[in-house]
Structure 1
Amino acid sequence: MAMDKECMLLLPSVCALLADSNKPLPDDTSLEKLLDRLTELSEAVEGVSLPESCPCLLDFLSAVTHNTTCDPSILSFALKLGGLMAATEDGFTAVQERSTLDLSFKVQHWQDAGLWEDPCVRIGWIHGFRRMLLHPKALCFFVLSDSTKPLLQLQRDASLFVASAASQLLAHILLTYQETLHEEDGSTESQYTHVIQQTTDYMKASLPPKDRTQIAPSLQVLQLLAMILNRAGPPLRDQLLQAVASSLEDVVEVGYSQLTPALMDIIMSVYSSNKDEGAPHHAVSRLLSAMLNANKAADFLHAAAAFLHGGHHDPVNTTLAVKVLLMPLHVCIHNSLLATVSAGDEHHVLMAAQLKSKSAFVSLICVSLRNAPQIALMPPDVLPCPPASIVLAVVSLLRACSGHHSSGCSDEAFRCLLASGKVQKCALEVLASLSGSPGANNTMKSVFEVLIQYMKNPDWDPTVLHKSYKAFIQWMNICTSFPQQLREDLMTTVQKRVCDPRWEVRDSSVELLGQLAGVLALKSEDLPSTSTPLLRAALQDPESYVRASVIAALARTLAPSWQQGAAPHQGQADLVRRLLDILSEDTEGFARRAVVRYFISWFSSSPSSSPLLLDSVRCVLSLGSVDLDWEVKVHTLELAELLLDSVLSGRPGYGENGVGRSYEPACALHTRTNGPDATLDAALGFLVDQGVISALLRCLVDCDRPVGLKASRLLISIRDTVCPLLADAGDERTAMATCVSCVLPEEIRKMLERTPGDQDGDHRVGVCQVLTSLDLDQRSVLLSQSSDHVHNSFLSLLQDIMSARAAHSHTDAGQEVVVDCY
């Protein structure tokens, strides 16, 4: 963008006003918006710096720097602006020649004026340097002005925003200049080395924490180090690691658990940045080993989890991490997961000690469980047991939670596991994931037994039952058949759960039937015959969430018969009537949305139309396009789009009376003959009769933007596909043959009345005449813009700042000033 003449004339006045003010603007975002505009300008005008194109900005910066009575928000803006103007070498020189750069970024200057205590000024100083530090001159200025010291002090600032910005700036300096250092001269390298040295000295002085009061500063240093190492190249990465390696090991030795995540972030950062360079730095491998052998169970377990989650492999540490993560399961059930581990193993002793606290051990067992699926997929040389043993361990854990005290489970472990909803939910999620592990088929009997047991228990939390259902479906995916006994047990259980007083349980139960229908369809098996009547009865459920889930389940249950083209029977006709009643009468949008999606699924699955389907679609389009719920209307338009695509692409089964005829694709009609034949005219007539055109025109003027946007795009598609063929043919009779006068919404009629051209008194117009008379393209562009889109300009911003300041100066204290700053 380039600044126009009016802005160039007004900007000096705005700068002068801001420089003379000792009060903030009533709208504190206007300065940020002005800075954004100036940033856009500096990036757009290539080869021209801001000081050169807008010299009034230099005057403003000089005035504010010397005026210590300015409001801190304006001082902050000036510092950010100074950094922006000095972001290029030419701009840097221009600002420095005015002798304002040294004073602007001199911390002592603001401290003497008593302004450094305001976080706005500190943030401005940081952001100003962040914008400036893009070239060697800026780095030299930063070092020679001794700014590294205050920047390091700001790492521990009382304001979290200031401390975070300071960390970002320090990381920016180290990472930006490491990439260009080899292109620069020796003096730049010397300045850069100076920053690195001061940074590492600061890090070593902060690590490890001397006591608990020093944990927060140490944590900040660790987070900063992880941020830098994540992007650092070999020279910088090696310098940092060499400097702080022993300090990091001391942090592990101190044993503050709050620092474990940050330590693992450092390790993972190095592993990630080093993945293409072979083995990781030896200091990091040694640090990881120390973490995996920490003297607290929670620490070494979380360290192992973070390492495996990173997806890295270390010949020394991967096997140890797997052992550590399986230890809680091993301690719980005493199975053969870790057959070679003795009771005297240090990890075993530390983990067993956690059984004294139920909450602590439950947290650790959940960490172990969440990593079990990944462990089960690891190479055999890493695993201490077959993957099937991990599955059976989870099954045993679920049985213990439900009250089955096996001989392998100690009294302490049983006490921790009994009725623990947290362990149950976690174990069920993990069991679902383990269905894809090697050897899972061999454990299927035990898995289904425990899942059916969980489904039968009416006292479990609804979430536990829901996760039991999800696990059941996952294991059904790998089941080669659906044994009769399993069918009977499942249906008996689900019939009871569908009548549960808790709506969440009823909802999960009907969802299960729909999901099971999809799984069995892939195996060419059918659901038990009792499932469909059960679902139809559940349509009367008083909870709308359940009704919606029932409708979705019915769609999945009936999908196989639709795909086979089976003729609808009386029961299906009754179901359709019930669904249309829900669409027209249900007070909740969830169920009405589900009805429209049901017909979308039916229409998509059916190879040919039937009178029942077409009549239903016509009714759905009529009802759905005037629904109060915008999502219902959007789904209705999706159904209209399917019908439209089917007609215009020549899908079989859509013709007169709805059956027994197909249309040629519209594009073929023009090439096959010299002009469009009656088939296209009949296709348009069919779309009108089915209510497609009517639904689209209604939705075009809908108050919900997504609805109007989709309708406009579909109407444009019809216009661009059909109307050119009719126009090329020069057949006006065909263009006017399809009368849509009876379906035009009132708003559309009024639009057409305002359209130049003769109109018949009864508004008998054709589809193409309507579509070409409406400005669909312009409407689509407007609807594509976000709902908060408003016109804004640089000039309007400058005018708002001027008027706001004028209003503010004539306003009594305490009276609010309303500013409309775009």
Structure 2
Amino acid sequence: MLHHLPALHCLCSTGGMDVIFTLQGDPSLFVASAASQLLVHMLTFSLESETSKALSTKDCDWPGCAQMIVEHIRESLQSSSAPHIEQSLKLLSSLFGSCFGSCYAAWTEVLWLDIAKQIESFLLEETVQAQPLLANLLLNVARSPAFCGTEGNFWTLVTSALEHLTPVQAGPLAVGLLKLCKCPQDVRIQALTVLLQPMDCILRAASQSLECAGLLDESVSDPAAVESLLSSKTSCAGLLCQTLTHLEKLLSLKHLRVDLPCVSLLHSLMTILQFCNGFLSPASPLGSTISRNLINCFRVQKSALDVLAALSEKKECDTLIGNLFDVLLAYLQSPNTSPTVLKKTFQATSKWLVHLQELSSSNSQWPQTEKILEDVLVVLQKRLCSPCWEVRDSSLEFLTSMVKCLRDQKEFRQCLLSSEVLRLTENLLEDPESYVRASAVTAMGHLAPIACFAPESPVTGNQYNRESIVAKLQEILSTDSEGFPRRAVISIFTKWLREGCTGQLEDTEHFVSRVIQTVEHDLDWEVRLGGLELVEVFCSQTICQLSQCPYAPVSSAVPSSTPQNKLLQVFCRAKLFGFLFGSLCDCDKPVGQRACDVLVGLRGHFYPMSTLENPQEIEDSPAGRGIAWLQRTLRQGSLAQNFPVDGDVGVDFQDPESMMLALGAIDLLELHDELNKSSDHVEESPQSLLQDILAAVGTIEDNEVDCY
């Protein structure tokens, strides 16, 4: 409504603005936030519609509605009421964070010059209620094009905020400034210094000699404030978690315009982790206090391990890699490491193992790497036998990650296959916990190409041959009572098929046929959907193998050529068509959609151009009567869930000629459109709306629908 000037003027002249100003302080946060957003929209629209003359910082007559809002902000900032000050700071933050700050640079500068002194006074007077809001306000103002220059009083105020705000309040401001493209370099360096102060304090506190340097040469604010927070049991973990989260965000940026001291930062992270597990006894009193505060602190451990994983991308950290793995192995071995922290440790170890492998390849330092790998695998074997299912699950996920990243390294394969990891993983296929069984299936699926399928595989004997592993996974697919392991099996089978691990075409045909006969009766729709993905990959690969050229168009709609006949015969022997046409009637829509996609793709291969037969002629033929029935059944959609695929209705799904006829005669594109049509065309139709209105009219007062 307020995007129309008459409505805007009416509201301003009838006292409506005072109502909105009052609602800024509503007890409901939703109402208060909506009031602030409404004021932002009104001020922006007022400037769009009513500004007629050129603007300068000296001549700044605000339009009527905007003037009322700006005057309200001024009065609130100068009042002695803390709630009014907070409301105005929130409104300003929303205003500068909206399109106003980016599209109205001149007005932004005018408004900022009007309130800058008051904002500065909040910083210097250390008004407790206002300070937490100042960081977000300054950050939103900094994003405005009006303050892109490297000079000006605004950036002086920003550096003052970095000095005067508490470390907890200054952290979000600092990381926000470091993400800005046009922040002055000296401000950026100060922001980084603020972020690194807690890490610097950790290094200095852990030092046994005063000569040991920390991260920083000098501080922006008083180091005593950081030391005080780290000395307190209640604030130590909070400050470190916040700092570590900010550092992880910075490390994820592709282009960071300041240089992070990665080596010192890694040293500080290892110190924090050693404080947390009690493996470091600092000599300084402050270090002893911090160590007591952090012992077994899971929050800090998880945050530190996240940053540690992010640092694996930095090559300058290579000098500390030996010490780093000592810390990681200590966590992997310790019985006091919680399951969630262990999972993070596995993730960090995986990333650093990849970095270690790259380092070994370039520097020929394999003996050291081999020793680290052996130590990691020894710990992994122990963790795979843990009584805690979360630990077994995380261990299997770590194993899968290692195999994915290092499978091409001969030395890794030798270390892996000479350990007990393969046997223990196979045992976990029968774990009582379904999540663990699913992870064991995935891990075994990645191990099998190394241990069982590769001709040069060092593992010999019947225990680990291809047939036994495939048989075990097929048994899980057909008998496991939980959906997670069955989904994992079908996903692994599809992966093997893509990578060519299932053998020659005849073997693959038998394999796919057996899998889909199991999958089509599965009660889990995601398993059935996985079966369709398997079929899609099989069709694509078979077409490429049997066609003379995988991208050549087919010359005729009649399958007279040998490759076309062979294709149809392979697909029919594998019983693909019964599975695909049956899936079109699946009660779960994604299954029907995927089946239709596969059939449309097959039709495009066998019928590259519009060559459909006369429907009446098709229906008159013996096979055609069954095809006509099939099309009528498919139009019923999920109503035809008991879909017969045994040929009793005159449709032979294993007859190449009948299936060729079905692909050409059935309107798959119409089915495709129907399956992909959402319910909105019913629910959002005018008829549905009218029915809602009539239903509402018929309700009595006690039954009126609440708009929320």
Is the TM-score greater than 0.5?
A: yes
Aligned twin of 1:577: 471
Instruction: Give the whole-Å Cα distance in 1 for the aligned partners of 2:519 and 2:320.
Output: 48
Give matches, 1:45-84, under 5 Å: none
Aligned twin of 2:685: 793
Aligned twin of 1:355: 230
Instruction: Give the whole-Å Cα distance in 2 for the aligned partners of 1:614 and 1:257.
Output: 73
Task: Report the Cα offset of residue 463 of structure 1.
Answer: 0.7
Instruction: Give the whole-Å Cα distance in 2 for the aligned partners of 1:203 and 1:474.
Output: 51
Please, which of 507, 516, 522 is the counterpart of residue 621 of structure 1?
516
Q: Deviations over 1:663-695 (max 9, x none)?
A: 335763634999741320220111121122122
Q: Is the 8 A contact 2:46 2:66 kept in 1?
A: no
Which SS does the other structure have where 2:552 is aligned? helix
Task: Report the Cα offset of residue 640 of structure 1.
Answer: 0.7
Instruction: Give the whole-Å Cα distance in 2 for the aligned partners of 1:292 and 1:326.
Output: 13
Instruction: Give the whole-Å Cα distance in 2 for the aligned partners of 1:214 and 1:225.
Output: 16
Q: 1:799 to 1:475 in 2, by over 3 A?
A: closer
Q: Is the 8 A contact 1:498 1:510 kept in 2?
A: yes
Give matches, 1:516-665, under 5 Å: 516-523=402-409, 525-527=411-413, 528-529=416-417, 530=419, 531-559=421-449, 570=462, 571-606=465-500, 609-610=503-504, 611-648=506-543, 650-651=544-545, 662-665=546-549
Indicate whether 1:781 and 2:676 are aligned.
no
Instruction: Give the whole-Å Cα distance in 2 for the aligned partners of 1:761 and 1:623.
Output: 23
Instruction: Give the whole-Å Cα distance in 1 for the aligned partners of 2:375 and 2:663.
Output: 59
Please, which of 673, 678, 683 is the counterpart of residue 567 of structure 2?
683
Q: Is the 8 A contact 1:563 1:607 kept in 2?
A: yes
Indicate whether 1:326 and 2:196 are aligned.
yes
Task: Report the Cα offset of residue 505 of structure 1.
Answer: 0.6
Give matches, 1:310-389, under 5 Å: 310=180, 313-334=183-204, 336-338=213-215, 340-341=217-218, 346-373=221-248, 386-389=261-264
Aligned-partner residue type, residue 671 of structure 2: R
Task: Report the Cα offset of residue 609 of structure 1.
Answer: 3.5
Indicate whether 1:166 and 2:38 are aligned.
no
Indicate whether 1:701 and 2:582 are aligned.
no
Q: Deviations over 1:352-388 (max 9, x none)?
A: 12234212021112222233356678999955x8421
Aligned twin of 2:329: 452
Task: Report the Cα offset of residue 624 of structure 1.
Answer: 1.5
Instruction: Give the whole-Å Cα distance in 2 for the aligned partners of 1:676 and 1:598.
Output: 36
Task: Report the Cα offset of residue 523 of structure 1.
Answer: 4.4
Higher RCO by CA contacts (8 Å cutoff, separation 6 or greater): 1
| Paired residue total | 658
* Structure 2 gaps, min length 5: 205-211, 361-365, 641-646
Indicate whether 1:301 and 2:168 are aligned.
no
Q: Is the 8 A contact 1:261 1:303 kept in 2?
A: no
Instruction: Give the whole-Å Cα distance in 2 for the aligned partners of 1:322 and 1:685.
Output: 67
Instruction: Give the whole-Å Cα distance in 1 for the aligned partners of 2:170 and 2:610.
Output: 75
Please, which of 119, 137, 159 is the counterpart of residue 266 of structure 1?
137
Indicate whether 1:463 and 2:347 are aligned.
no
Aligned-partner residue type, residue 241 of structure 1: W
Aligned-partner residue type, residue 677 of structure 2: Q
Aligned twin of 1:414: 291
Instruction: Give the whole-Å Cα distance in 2 for the aligned partners of 1:143 and 1:341.
Output: 53
Q: 1:145 to 1:665 in 2, by over 3 A?
A: farther
Aligned-partner residue type, residue 591 of structure 2: V
Aligned-partner residue type, residue 615 of structure 1: H
Task: Report the Cα offset of residue 434 of structure 1.
Answer: 1.0
Q: 1:258 to 1:456 in 2, by over 3 A?
A: farther
Which SS does the other structure have where 1:477 is aligned? helix
Task: Report the Cα offset of residue 788 of structure 1.
Answer: 6.5
Q: 1:491 to 1:671 in 2, by over 3 A?
A: same
Instruction: Give the whole-Å Cα distance in 2 for the aligned partners of 1:726 and 1:687.
Output: 22
Instruction: Give the whole-Å Cα distance in 2 for the aligned partners of 1:761 and 1:552.
Output: 41
Aligned twin of 2:208: none
Instruction: Give the whole-Å Cα distance in 2 for the aligned partners of 1:349 and 1:414.
Output: 18
Q: 1:266 to 1:190 in 2, by over 3 A?
A: closer
Q: Is the 8 A contact 1:206 1:221 kept in 2?
A: no
Aligned-partner residue type, residue 602 of structure 1: W
Aligned twin of 2:115: 244
Aligned-partner residue type, residue 269 of structure 2: V
Instruction: Give the whole-Å Cα distance in 2 for the aligned partners of 1:448 and 1:458.
Output: 17
Aligned twin of 1:11: none
Q: 1:788 to 1:569 in 2, by over 3 A?
A: farther
Q: Deviations over 1:46-90 (max 9, x none)?
A: xxxxxxxxxxxxxxxxxxxxxxxxxxxxxxxxxxxxxxxxxxxxx
Please, which of 470, 477, 491 is the counterpart of residue 354 of structure 2?
477
Q: Deviations over 1:65-122 (max 9, x none)?
A: xxxxxxxxxxxxxxxxxxxxxxxxxxxxxxxxxxxxxxxxxxxxxxxxxxxxxxxxxx
Aligned-partner residue type, residue 674 of structure 2: L
What is the TM-score normalised by the length of structure 1?
A: 0.71
What is the TM-score normalised by the length of structure 2?
A: 0.82
Q: Is the 8 A contact 1:155 1:166 kept in 2?
A: yes
Aligned-partner residue type, residue 585 of structure 2: V
Task: Report the Cα offset of residue 230 of structure 1.
Answer: 3.8
Task: Report the Cα offset of residue 566 of structure 1.
Answer: 7.3
Instruction: Give the whole-Å Cα distance in 2 for the aligned partners of 1:167 and 1:339.
Output: 41
Please, which of 493, 498, 502 is the counterpart of residue 379 of structure 2?
493
Aligned twin of 2:396: 510
Indicate whether 1:390 and 2:259 are aligned.
no
% identical equivalent positions: 27
Instruction: Give the whole-Å Cα distance in 1 for the aligned partners of 2:87 and 2:501.
Output: 67
Indicate whether 1:430 and 2:322 are aligned.
no
Task: Report the Cα offset of residue 260 of structure 1.
Answer: 4.7
Q: 1:222 to 1:251 in 2, by over 3 A?
A: farther
Which SS does the other structure have where 1:439 is aligned? helix
Aligned-partner residue type, residue 519 of structure 1: C
Instruction: Give the whole-Å Cα distance in 2 for the aligned partners of 1:281 and 1:196.
Output: 29
Q: Deviations over 1:462-483 (max 9, x none)?
A: 0110000000111112113462
Task: Report the Cα offset of residue 741 of structure 1.
Answer: 8.7
Q: 1:287 to 1:560 in 2, by over 3 A?
A: farther
Task: Report the Cα offset of residue 295 of structure 1.
Answer: 5.4
Task: Report the Cα offset of residue 400 of structure 1.
Answer: 1.5
Q: Is the 8 A contact 1:155 1:163 kept in 2?
A: yes
Which SS does the other structure have where 2:63 is aligned? helix
* Structure 1 gaps, min length 5: 1-127, 652-661
